[in-house]
Amino acid sequence: MASEDPTPRPLSALDAVRSRRSVRAFTAEPVPRAVVVEILAAASRAPSGSNIQPWKVHAVAGAAREALSAELRAAHFDPTDDQAGAEYTYYPTQWFEPYLARRRKIGWDLYGLLGIAKGDREAMAHQHARNYDFFGAPVGLFFTMDRRMEQGSWLDVGMFMENVMVAARGFGLDTCPQAAFISYHRIVRRHLGIPDSDILLSGMALGHADPDAPENRLETERAPVADFTRFHGF
């Protein structure tokens, strides 16, 4: 009797998209460089205006990742550190609905799973600091592009990043895109040799989700299609 084939079956495109989520706790299981290369190669099929392919990637692991994380965490907890300063404004300066309610809900849902009480700023700060350790993931990715590019290229890099996250699912891996790093872009660019001519757009954790971590039970809601779509001519 033939033994069962142990090779994992690839996810369909729809299953990969539907199962993508932001994981905030990873195991230490390594991700081989060859797998990272395959993920990035697949992601590079993302569209871009006139095929300019504006994305650039810095991948970190091992000692390089540890050294970067150590300095980022130290800066985060040091009130006298003057290296903070965001590359760009990610969120609106004034919140409004329905976006404010959505932001608050995911925050309290996550803190509830972690047992962090409302107003416990110390616990919140420690949870935020886990960004700088890539939530325990063995691989960190940083996405940059030439800062002379315009808004269209931001869209292109966003589509490339989504491809990275979906392609990772094809290898049974998970990710978490992280804007937290832009506040310490000076530290990141010094460690990785990113020139000032490039803007740091985002970081991303890549690895195997920890199935026992309570924060990985977080399920985010999505608005129904009817809420954000208007059909014309159907």
Beta pairing, strands 174-178 & 139-146: unpaired
What number does CATH give the domain 18-76+132-213? 3.40.109.10
The span from the CA of 203 to the CA of 178, in Å, is: 5
Whole-number pLDDT of residue 5: 52
* Burial degree of 62 (CB within 10 A; 0-12, 13-18, 19+): exposed
Residues of the chain with pLDDT under 50: 1-3, 6
**Calpha distance 40→37 (Å, rounded):** 5
Rounded Cα distance, 168 and 139, in Å: 12
- Which pLDDT value is given to residue 38? 97
pLDDT at 178 (0 to 100): 98
Q: Which pLDDT does position 8 carry in this prediction?
A: 52
- β-bridge partners, 184: none
pLDDT reported for residue 73: 96
| pTM, full prediction | 0.93
Instruction: Give the H/E segment covering residue 18.
Output: helix 13-19
For 2-33, b/e burial (b = at least 16 CB within 10 A) is eeeeeeeeebeeeebeeebbbbbbbeeeebee
